[in-house]
């Protein structure tokens, strides 16, 4: 099928949204603390905690998927993170693909992909990768590509 799918633009928008709203929440909390509205300021800290928790549960990730050159390549990293970004990559020949498990949750809004391959020692499973930051059409393209390689009719 030979395709490359990336979601860099959407990840940049999500990061900007997260940090912009976080900055606004922090400034409002600071103003409330300085004007002796301590209880409201603590409430704003709680709002920030919920905001941060939402992004951690949603697990938005930068995704680059490719099935070119007889290989499956999946690069990914967490989009919303404080500190150093941990880059990860999964790469293997297409013929080693044993299964591709798609787990849909939150009414199809969130999708996790688990790749299973054949090795000399048996079946191995890679850690799940969140596809939630990919547009729905791109998620379907990834799913169709992997199912085509597996010979599964969708």
Domains and CATH numbers, the chain: 1-154 (2.30.29)
Q: pLDDT tens, 13-34? A: 999 999 999 999 999 999 999 9
Residue 52 pairs in a beta bridge with none
pTM of the model: 0.81
Task: Please give the structure tokens belonging to residue 92.
Answer: 């293997």
Q: pLDDT tens, 110-148? A: 899 999 999 999 999 999 999 999 988 999 999 989 999
For helices 38-58 and 8-34, angle between their N-to-C axes, nearest 10 degrees: 170
């Amino acid at each position: 099928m030979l395709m490359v799918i990336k979601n860099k633009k959407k990840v940049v928008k999500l990061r900007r949204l997260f940090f912009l709203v976080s900055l606004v929440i922090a400034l409002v909390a600071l103003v409330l603390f300085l004007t002796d509205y301590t209880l409201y300021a603590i409430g704003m800290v709680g709002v920030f905690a919920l905001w941060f928790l939402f992004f951690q549960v949603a697990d938005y990730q930068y995704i680059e998927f490719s099935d070119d050159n007889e290989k499956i390549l999946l690069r990914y990293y967490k989009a919303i993170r404080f500190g150093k970004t941990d880059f990860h990559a999964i790469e293997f020949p297409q013929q080693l693909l044993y299964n591709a498990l798609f787990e849909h949750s939150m009414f199809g809004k969130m999708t996790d992909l688990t790749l299973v391959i054949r090795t000399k020692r048996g079946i191995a499973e890679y850690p799940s990768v969140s596809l939630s930051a990919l547009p729905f059409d791109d998620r379907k393209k990834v799913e169709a590509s992997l199912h085509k390689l597996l010979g599964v009719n969708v």
